């Protein structure tokens, strides 16, 4: 799980398997040659956590011409360096204008089983889930299921939210709603009973006073997307996971992706490793669990971070 700055949310479960690095335009040109990248300005040659089904570009790169094999080796070194001395795995891919140029892995997804990660390994993507939920809500809006300027209370009537808090303000984090992930009691409760399955309603009990009136500021908040998930289910009469599969994942060919806890991850999913209790020891958080990185976190995050 990525650990962003305070401007964004600091996720629970530090150093969970799966990391991200960026290869800038200059480095990418050195690896692939300026000519091949001339049409890509600006180039986003990102090491992207391969959580959405993966792809097998590393093998093709190794079998290509010498320059391509050199690039593959160079990228593998960058990936190995990013992992450092830790055995916890990291997968990455380089994509140029929608075309896979390289993918690979370094380390293991389960330290006890010593199962290596590859460019096709599946990871929990945590808060990247929000991107998919936002895209789903936009798709449903296009289909007429609801309007982004609808008050949240229209679709989640028991929320008791004021009319000014709209679906749009949930998606762009201008609702002012307190983020449950910043409630220390919530965090301790999540970690104290890692096998517990949470419902969205249980998660929302940990919401506290708002940061500011609706529309008068910006603050990242998991609460926004838990409510967005409830609105989607009320508007469509089906689950967020089901709608996501039908509207997004299936059309994109993301057959191994899903939303926890409705969907179980594949057996070879990379395990979460971290130290949420801050004991100083990195441990496997997923062993013995049904969901990744562990049951209580995956189910409580749900539409805010359960993919």
Alpha helical stretches, state H, the chain: 25-32, 34-37, 57-62, 66-83, 129-142, 152-155, 167-171, 184-192, 200-204, 222-236, 240-244, 250-252, 295-301
CA dist 303 and 131 (Å) reads 10
The pLDDT tens digits along the chain (307 residues) read 333 333 333 333 333 334 433 344 444 444 444 433 333 332 223 333 333 333 344 444 455 566 778 888 898 998 899 888 888 888 998 888 989 889 999 999 988 888 899 999 999 999 999 999 999 999 999 999 999 999 999 999 999 999 999 999 999 999 999 999 999 999 999 999 999 999 999 999 999 999 999 999 999 999 999 999 999 999 999 999 999 999 999 999 999 999 999 999 999 999 998 887 778 888 899 999 999 999 999 999 999 999 9
pTM of the model: 0.79
Which residues, in sequence order, are bridge partners of residue 283?
A: 274
CB 223 within 8 A of CB 178: yes
Instruction: Pinpoint the residues of the chain covered by CATH 3.40.710.10.
Output: 127-304
Cβ burial 112-138 (10 Å sphere, 16+ → b, else e): eeeeebbbbbbbbbbbbbbebbbebbe
Handedness of CA 179, 151, 261, 173 (dihedral sign): negative
CB 222 within 8 A of CB 305: yes
Q: Identify the CATH assignment for 127-304 out of 3.30.565.10, 3.40.710.10, 3.40.50.1820, 3.40.50.10140.
A: 3.40.710.10
SS3 67: helix
CB neighbour list of residue 282: distance below 8 Å, 6 or more residues apart: 15, 86, 88, 273, 274, 275
């Amino acid at each position: 799980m990525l650990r962003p700055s305070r401007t964004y949310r600091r996720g629970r479960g530090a150093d969970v398997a799966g990391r991200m690095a960026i290869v800038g335009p200059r480095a990418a040109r050195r690896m692939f040659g300026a000519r091949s990248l001339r049409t890509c300005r600006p180039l986003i040659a990102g090491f992207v956590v391969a959580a959405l089904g993966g792809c097998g570009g590393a093998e093709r790169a190794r079998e290509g011409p010498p320059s391509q094999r050199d690039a593959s080796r160079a990228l593998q070194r960058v990936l190995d360096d990013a992992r450092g001395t830790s055995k916890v795995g990291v997968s990455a891919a380089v994509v140029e204008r929608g075309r896979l140029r390289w993918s690979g892995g370094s380390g293991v997804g389960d330290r006890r089983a010593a199962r290596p990660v590859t460019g096709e390994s599946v990871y929990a993507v945590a808060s990247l889930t929000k991107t998919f939920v936002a895209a789903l809500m936009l798709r449903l809006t296009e289909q007429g299921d609801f309007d982004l300027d609808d008050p949240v209370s229209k679709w989640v009537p028991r929320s008791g939210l004021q009319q000014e808090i709209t679906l749009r303000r949930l998606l762009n984090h201008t609702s002012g709603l307190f983020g449950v992930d910043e409630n220390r009691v919530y965090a301790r409760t999540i970690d104290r009973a890692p096998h517990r399955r949470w419902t969205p309603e249980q998660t929302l009990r940990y919401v506290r006073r708002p940061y500011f009136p609706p529309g008068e500021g910006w603050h990242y908040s998991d609460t926004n997307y838990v409510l967005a998930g409830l609105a989607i289910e009320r508007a469509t009469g089906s689950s967020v996971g089901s709608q996501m599969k039908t509207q997004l994942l299936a059309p994109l060919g993301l057959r191994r992706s899903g939303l926890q806890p409705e969907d179980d991850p594949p057996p070879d999913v990379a395990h979460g490793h971290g130290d949420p209790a801050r004991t100083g020891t990195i441990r496997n958080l997923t062993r013995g669990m049904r969901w990744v990185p562990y049951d209580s976190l995956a189910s409580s995050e749900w539409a805010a971070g359960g993919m």
